[in-house]
């Protein structure tokens, strides 16, 4: 069901409280990757065009106290202003008399960014007192932070219960893409999963074994599947608690219509460093003392061939330690195969997004989800508070 968006409501002239996800990496006091900031620009620009006064809220990092100077949003405000080519007034508080005065003095089209929402301990508790104090600043609530939608926090869920609520454009795109993926994927539907831990993705694996036609496994988690088969993985770092999950997944795959595909060769190395000695070995022949750090070329070629014939592909998790050049090829081959695939291509958050950005291929994907944990939770079938609290278009 499509959620009500800013286009479905008369937002003209309103004070818009907008939850964005500006939880971006910082380096030397500057934004190091502005992907998430750019993702909310269409919503912010639309609201400004409608004469709204735009009050932005976001968290940044995981502050241990109420005023971690390394996690203030000043660098974010600076970058946002550059992208908007308009002033962005950064406030030093989330609420209080200073915020009230600043909001009261706003003119149509003005943009204000409140301080890190997690500086207030009531945020993560979805405390009603914080919800109502923030609600005083807005006439409407816009949620454009799908990547934080799995959190039932005051700014991600609570405000939607006390103000007229709607999705921003980024939120709407994320929900539409993932809803189509789980409800009616194009066939054959291919899923590529990588990363480190089977336990983190066991519910997703279980869901895709019911939904997909082929499930391609890579990354460190593939080593857990190999070890669960009784194969030696050398000194590879394998999540021991993930082994029972891997065994259950392989058992279910035999009984399902989905083919679970594992690497047949591995790039092994004697150390996790750029200049480590490395060579390609069979997946059943990783030497003692060596680590599996990427899928091998034969596996990469096989995975690329499967992706090429897909009607739809979903990818989450790298195939190896792609941050280091000797172990990046498997991830790069998968990314290039996705880019060339004539079917629908969806990249699902986290390191996969970093990979397609690194290889300059993000623009060739049909949808790049910034959701990470939220994307996987949605696919699992979990209720996302930040989505569930928004009214459906027809209900609205």
* Neighbouring C-beta atoms of residue 200, cutoff 10 Å: 16
DSSP-assigned letters across all residues of 7-29:
GGS--TT-EEEEE------EETT
Catalytic residue among 218, 350, 371, 386: 350
Question: Chain-centre distance of CA 77, in angstroms?
Answer: 22
Catalytic residue among 247, 311, 373, 393: 373
Annotated active-site residue 373? The verdict is: yes
Q: Is the peptide bond before 261 cis (omega within 30 degrees of 0)?
A: no
For residue 45, which of 83, 19, 14, 77 has the smallest C-alpha distance?
Answer: 83
Catalytic residue among 15, 36, 48, 79: 36
Question: Measuring CA to CA, how many Å separate 18 from each of 133, 135, 346?
Answer: 15, 11, 26
Structure tokens at 144: 């454009």
Q: Report d(CA 305, CA 286) in Å as an integer.
A: 25
| Helix 373-380 and helix 198-211, axial crossing angle in degrees, nearest 10 | 40
Catalytic residue among 89, 125, 186, 197: 197
Under 8 Å between Cβ of 368 and 336? no
Q: Where are the beta strands (DSSP E) in 37-118?
A: 53-57, 89-90, 111-113
Catalytic residues: 36, 197, 350, 373
């Amino acid at each position: 069901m499509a959620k009500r968006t800013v286009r479905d409501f008369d937002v003209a002239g309103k004070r818009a409280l907008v939850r964005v996800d500006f939880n971006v990496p910082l380096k030397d006091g500057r934004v190091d990757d502005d992907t998430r900031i750019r993702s909310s620009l269409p919503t912010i620009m639309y609201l400004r065009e409608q004469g709204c006064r735009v009050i932005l809220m976001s968290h940044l990092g995981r502050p241990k106290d109420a005023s971690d100077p390394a996690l203030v949003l000043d660098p974010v405000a600076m970058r946002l202003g550059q992208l908007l080519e308009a002033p962005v007034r950064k406030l030093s508080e989330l609420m209080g008399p200073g915020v009230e005065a600043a909001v009261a003095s706003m003119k149509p089209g003005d943009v204000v960014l409140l301080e890190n929402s997690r500086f207030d301990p009531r945020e993560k508790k979805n405390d009603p007192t914080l919800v109502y104090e923030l609600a005083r600043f807005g006439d409407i609530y816009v949620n454009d932070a799908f990547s934080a939608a799995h959190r039932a926090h005051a700014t991600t869920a609570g405000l939607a219960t006390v103000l007229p609520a709607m999705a921003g454009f980024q939120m709407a795109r994320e929900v539409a893409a993932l809803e189509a993926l789980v409800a009616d994927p194009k066939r054959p539907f291919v899923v590529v999963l990588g990363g480190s831990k089977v336990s983190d993705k066991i519910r997703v694996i279980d869901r895709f074994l019911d939904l997909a036609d082929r499930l391609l496994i890579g990354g460190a988690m593939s080593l857990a599947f190999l070890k669960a088969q009784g194969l030696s993985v050398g000194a590879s770092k394998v999540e021991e608690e993930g082994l029972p999950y891997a065994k259950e997944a392989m058992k279910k795959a035999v009984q399902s219509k989905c083919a679970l595909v594992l690497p047949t060769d591995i790039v092994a190395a004697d150390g996790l460093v750029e200049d480590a000695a490395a060579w390609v070995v069979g997946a059943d022949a990783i030497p003692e003392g060596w680590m599996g750090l990427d899928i091998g070329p034969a596996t990469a070629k096989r995975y690329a061939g499967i992706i090429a014939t897909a009607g739809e592909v979903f990818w989450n998790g790298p195939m190896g330690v792609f941050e280091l050049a000797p172990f990046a090829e498997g991830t790069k081959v998968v990314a290039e195969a996705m880019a060339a695939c004539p079917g629908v291509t969806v990249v699902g958050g986290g390191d996969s997004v970093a990979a397609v950005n690194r290889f300059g291929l993000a623009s060739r994907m049909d949808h790049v989800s910034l959701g990470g944990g939220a994307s996987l939770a949605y696919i699992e079938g979990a209720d996302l508070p930040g989505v569930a609290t928004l009214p459906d278009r027809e209900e609205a």
